[in-house]
Structure 1
Amino acid sequence: MTRMTAGEKGFQLALVVFFSVFSAAMLYPFVHELAVSFSTPVEAIRPGLHIFPLEWSLEAYKTVFVSSQIWIGFGNTIFRTVVGTLLSLIFMSMVAYPLSKKYLPHRTFYTMLIVFTMFFQGGLIPTYLLIKQLGLINSHWVYVLAPPFLISTFSMLILRNFFMQIPSELEDSAKMDGASDIRVLVSLILPLSKPILATVGLWSAVNHWNAWFDGLLYIQDPAKMVLQIYLRRLVVENQTQEMQALLDQPGVQNMIPETIKAATLMVATIPILIVYPFLQKYFVKGIFVGSLKG
């Protein structure tokens, strides 16, 4: 091990300071809202930094969880996240696997045709007309079937590149034993691709959990709206009707909009954050290996 020079030590120190400040700047808004959500109304409106609540209260969370619209949004969001992620992995794997084979006729043409969609898309109005003709307006399935959620071109290419790293001798030996292409994909390729599947699955899950624009376009029934639409109305659009419905619930006393908004933000954010630690060990390996070969 060679010792670092004074210049290298200074550079390392500058990096540590920069990224520490950058991380604090990114983390503080989350910590602030978390502290406000657990604060009493008097503490919540106190000027200054909110890092740790001086006066604790769970009333904001009780108010949020009593709301039926929160649970409806939760159910719809969980449905689109779980079902949408599974369907995305299935369909992207089915597209990526044949494109990873050199013996596929016109493979380069098909790949370029798919890559073309990353840069040139149909636009909002043609997409809406297509969704309408498919009968998906005001349907739960629009969340998982509408573009671009079913197949992400970028994620599919990452999958394709990962599949190309798997030695072809393994597939040849399986086919010599009578395995079909589908059997090879399901029983051999996918089990060996857990890192990239976890990585792509996490991307898809986060996209589904945070999505709101498709629900705003295609859904009018309040019973089919996702949590992010409700959150947007409550926090961004500042809908007094939505807030007043929460404040008028039985047993709700001395609550203010700030604590309810903060609690709703935490309820919508924390579940997807919990997923990441379980997939972290696959994340770096999956994205690194999947981006090596073009």
Structure 2
Amino acid sequence: MSTQIKSTSDRIIDASFYIILTIVGLLTLFPMYYVFVMSITPLQETVRNGGFVMIPSEVTFSAYQAIFDSPRLPQSLKVTATITVVGTFLNLVFTMLLAYPLSRKQLPGRKICLFLIVFTMVFSGGLIPTYLVVKEFGLLDSIWAMIIPGLISTFNLLITKTFFENLSIEIQEAAKIDGCNDLQTLYLVVLPLSKAIIATIGLFYAVAHWNEFFAGIMYLTSERLYPLQVILRDMLQQPNMSMEMMSQVQGLEAELPPMAIRMAMVVTTTLPILLVYPFVQKYFTKGVMLGAIKG
């Protein structure tokens, strides 16, 4: 078996690419590292270093104690988790139920339905009409206002439809010969073969729900229904909120800078999604490629 020997110029080019990618990776990770470091740095060291600390000599997790002892974070975390779990489940159900029939070329009116669906990617109803629709359906000041209006994403729907079109039609026809109807074929045959696309669009939906921010500001008035991102926004815009959280734990006012509370909140809202990515990464590229390119 022959092996190809790289020339000196090829090795230099490869090394240059690795160096550039390493630098880009470090620049990408540095803001996340700095946010975490500032969340665990005590007040005296922050003051001593002029507010910029790379490697703290002392570590304290009092900022995390403050935000978890506050009633705001547990309640907003509960709301965000509910929106993410329930919303993602409903998103997947309705996206699959719409994408599967649209993937069948014999469906009557298929082209008209696809045109109307794609049309929404170019032109939307607008902010005020959308708000009025949500209001007329009685969804204001309800967590359903952050789930139902975005129940089906056109982008995710088209990716799923194309993925279903690439599946073997012979297997589906064999299921129908065995007596399965369309719903049974979808549930028993198509979905078990679609784990890649389910994981991919499920991740898209989950990240969107976890980062829900605009709908929370638009449709909610009760603070008990605010998701995490709205609480984080209030903390960044209202310094008094950080002081309020510190005051609830005795002694923290002299131990932590207000910035540590905000940084701890940023870490808390970001970490759960970062932990999910490694488990779905193996499906991610496969799902997008199979759903975007018709072979």
Q: Provide Cα deviations, 1:231-272, integer angstroms capped at 9, x if missing partner.
A: 01112x1x1332232122142421221111111111111011
The equivalent position to 1:58 in structure 2, one of 58, 61, 65, is 61
Counterpart residue number, 2:246: 247
Q: How does 1:115-194 map to 2 (within 5 A)?
A: 115-146=118-149, 149-194=150-195
Letter in 1 for 2:62: E
| Cα shift at 1:48 | 7.3
Q: State the distance in 1 between where 2:169 and 2:69 align.
A: 56
Q: State the distance in 2 between where 1:127 and 1:12 align.
A: 52
Letter in 1 for 2:187: V
Q: State the distance in 1 between where 2:102 and 2:56 align.
A: 54
Q: Provide Cα deviations, 1:55-106, integer angstroms capped at 9, x if missing partner.
A: 1111111111101000111000001111111111111111110111111123
Contact 2:141 2:221 in 1 (8 A): yes
Q: State the distance in 1 between where 2:13 and 2:154 align.
A: 38
The answer as to 2:281 corresponding to 1:280 is yes
Contact 1:198 1:279 in 2 (8 A): yes
Letter in 2 for 1:38: I
Counterpart residue number, 1:84: 87
Counterpart residue number, 1:290: 291
Q: TM-score, normalised by structure 1?
A: 0.94
Letter in 2 for 1:281: K
Q: State the distance in 1 between where 2:61 and 2:205 align.
A: 32
- SS of the equivalent of 1:101 reads coil
Cα distance, 1:87–1:252 mapped onto 2, change above 3 Å? farther
Gaps of 5+ in 2: none
Counterpart residue number, 1:26: 28
- Pairs aligned (count): 290
The answer as to 2:71 corresponding to 1:68 is yes
Counterpart residue number, 2:216: 215
Q: State the distance in 1 between where 2:241 and 2:51 align.
A: 28
Q: State the distance in 1 between where 2:206 and 2:180 align.
A: 32
Contact 1:231 1:264 in 2 (8 A): yes
Contact 2:46 2:52 in 1 (8 A): no
Q: State the distance in 2 between where 1:38 and 1:256 align.
A: 10
| Cα shift at 1:117 | 0.9
Cα distance, 1:2–1:112 mapped onto 2, change above 3 Å? farther
- SS of the equivalent of 1:178 reads coil
Q: Which runs of 4+ in 1 moved over 6 A?
A: none
The equivalent position to 1:96 in structure 2, one of 94, 99, 102, is 99
Aligned-pair identity (%): 38
Q: Provide Cα deviations, 1:98-129, integer angstroms capped at 9, x if missing partner.
A: 11111112322221221111111111111111
Contact 1:63 1:252 in 2 (8 A): no
Q: State the distance in 1 between where 2:289 and 2:225 align.
A: 38
Letter in 1 for 2:86: V
The equivalent position to 1:109 in structure 2, one of 95, 99, 112, is 112
Q: Provide Cα deviations, 1:192-224, integer angstroms capped at 9, x if missing partner.
A: 100110011011111111120110000010010
| Cα shift at 1:12 | 2.6
The answer as to 2:34 corresponding to 1:44 is no
Letter in 2 for 1:15: F
Moved more, 84-93 or 239-248: 239-248
State the superposition RMSD in angstroms: 1.6
Letter in 2 for 1:210: N
